[in-house]
Amino acid sequence: MNRLHAPIPFVLASILACACVAGGGGTPPSDPAPDAPTWYDDVAHVVYDNCVSCHQPGGIAPFSLLEYDTAVAFGPLLAHVTAERTMPPMPVDNSGECQTFDNARWLTDAEIDTIGAWVEADMPEGDPANAPEAPALPAGLEDADVVLDMGEEYTPDARTADDYHCFVLETGLSEERFVTSYEVVPGDPRVVHHVIVFSLETDADVARVRELDAAEPGAGYTCFGGAGAAGAAPLVLWAPGGGRVAMPEGTGLPVGARAVVLQLHYNLAAGPFPDRTRVRLRTRASVEEPAWFASFRDADMALPPRMSYVETGVEQRVPGDGRLTVYGALPHMHALGRTLRVEAVRGSEHTCLVHADRWDFEWQNAWFYESPLEVRGGDLIRLTCGYDTLERSDVTRWGEGTGDEMCLSYFYVTL
């Protein structure tokens, strides 16, 4: 078992992703009610703020939502997926009942109601003079000082629906630095589902991944779940729509002169298209607070079959007597997962750290708190995961395979 498992699909997955809808139909109204929301006066403001970073020409989504005619065509579905909170894609609760997140993809109840009322009123257009300014595509990381490049195109294995492939890459660094921002540039967005870069802690880790690479013909090696080395630690986590990611101010993840591992999850639903993904890193010689990803997991899980909902979990004390600043959470399960919750318990005080109340394996990400939290040595961390095993006939256990499961959450922390 790898010490750290890819949380996306990561997840990321594909990430980290922000498409809002995926199809639908509708017709514009002829005589809207006078108090009904209109596209230009009300709905476009919500969509532009929350959806069109992906849904515009050149974005990762399959269609644009910049135009009224297109929005009308997808209006009923837009209302449905926002009401269900399946779009914008965020499986983690951001209501405030269990923290709020700086990079949340989250509509307020009022925004969801506005979209629903607009569709109910037959989607009136409104006054084009009141249209909000169209946002630009998210800015890229133009001042990166390290670029990780596969070096050649790789065509995913067409014999499988999901190809997890790893590449051993050099950083070009001569000494340790700290990653403070990164951007993943997928070679072909049709197949790149999530990307993780793993740093390697020891020379033995480097030797291990090179051995795995040499044992498999062609570029890279198959690596479902993790990099295949005990000391592989997540350095970059990306899913479609994640865009440029900045670590919390004053923090950074260490990266040194050793090689790193670039893991790509290719989904072949659209076909096995060749890909050459690149990762841009901005690094600094030092940061005020070096950070790392701490994890809590239930590795002894055993899920009984034929259950519509079954929970597993684990409790663990924070070691030592120091204090940790927690900047964000990265929950992770596989396809059977439905819910995940982590709490910190100190005496009678309970603090919710993260609650994935509608887990979706396809949309994973690192979620950074609006305000960092503190945990102390001796605090009890309680992790609980819920699953649907109705279609399983055997016990499901922890593992790297698609038929296995996981119950864990990473936390981005500093000492």
Domain shared by 280 and 319, yes or no: no
Residue 246 is assigned to a structural domain of this protein? yes
Domain shared by 373 and 353, yes or no: yes
CATH number at residue 208: 2.60.120.310
* Rounded distance between C-alpha atoms, residue 82 and residue 242, angstroms: 19
Q: Which residues contact 136 (CB under 8 A, 6 or more apart)?
A: none
Residue 102 is assigned to a structural domain of this protein? no
Give residue 227's identity as a one-letter amino acid code: A
Domain stop point among 287, 306, 341: 287
Domain shared by 150 and 283, yes or no: yes
Q: How many domains does the chain have?
A: 2
Residue 215 is assigned to a structural domain of this protein? yes
Q: Which residues contact 273 (CB under 8 A, 6 or more apart)?
A: 155, 156, 188, 190, 191
Domain shared by 281 and 300, yes or no: no
Length of the chain: 415
Inter-residue contact 251 to 287 (CB < 8 Å): yes
CA distances from 352 to 233, 317, 334 (A): 25, 15, 22
Range of the domain at 224: 146-287
Domain shared by 263 and 158, yes or no: yes
Residue 23 is assigned to a structural domain of this protein? no
Domain shared by 244 and 332, yes or no: no
Instruction: Write phi, then psi, for 120 (nearest 5 degrees).
Output: -60, -30
Domain shared by 315 and 261, yes or no: no
Domain shared by 273 and 306, yes or no: no
Residue 150 is assigned to a structural domain of this protein? yes
Question: What is the residue-level pLDDT of the chain in tens, covering all 415 positions?
Answer: 233 333 333 333 332 334 344 444 445 555 667 789 999 999 999 999 988 887 888 776 778 899 999 899 999 999 999 999 989 988 999 999 999 999 898 999 999 999 999 999 999 999 999 999 988 776 778 889 999 999 999 999 999 888 999 999 999 999 999 999 999 999 998 899 889 999 999 999 999 999 999 999 999 999 987 899 999 998 998 876 667 888 999 999 999 999 999 999 898 888 999 999 999 999 999 999 999 988 899 999 999 999 999 999 999 999 988 899 999 998 989 889 999 999 999 999 999 999 999 998 878 788 999 999 999 999 999 999 999 999 999 999 998 666 789 999 989 999 8
Domain shared by 372 and 335, yes or no: yes
For residue 240, count CB atoms less than 10 angstroms from its CB and return exposed for 0-12, middle for 13-18, buried for 19 or more: buried
Domain shared by 225 and 332, yes or no: no
Domain shared by 258 and 188, yes or no: yes
Residue 47 is assigned to a structural domain of this protein? no
pTM equals 0.81
Q: Where are the alpha helices (DSSP H) in 51-182?
A: 68-73, 75-83, 109-120
Domain stop point among 287, 315, 340: 287
Residue 127 is assigned to a structural domain of this protein? no
For residue 272, count CB atoms less than 10 angstroms from its CB and return exposed for 0-12, middle for 13-18, buried for 19 or more: middle
CATH number at residue 352: 2.60.120.230
- What DSSP character marks residue 97? B
Give residue 332's identity as a one-letter amino acid code: H
Domain stop point among 271, 287, 303: 287
pLDDT, position 415: 87
- The torsion defined by the Cα of 84, 90, 92 and 96, in degrees rounded to 10, comes to -80
Domain shared by 233 and 323, yes or no: no
Which two tokens mark 198? 């793993």
Residue 367 is assigned to a structural domain of this protein? yes
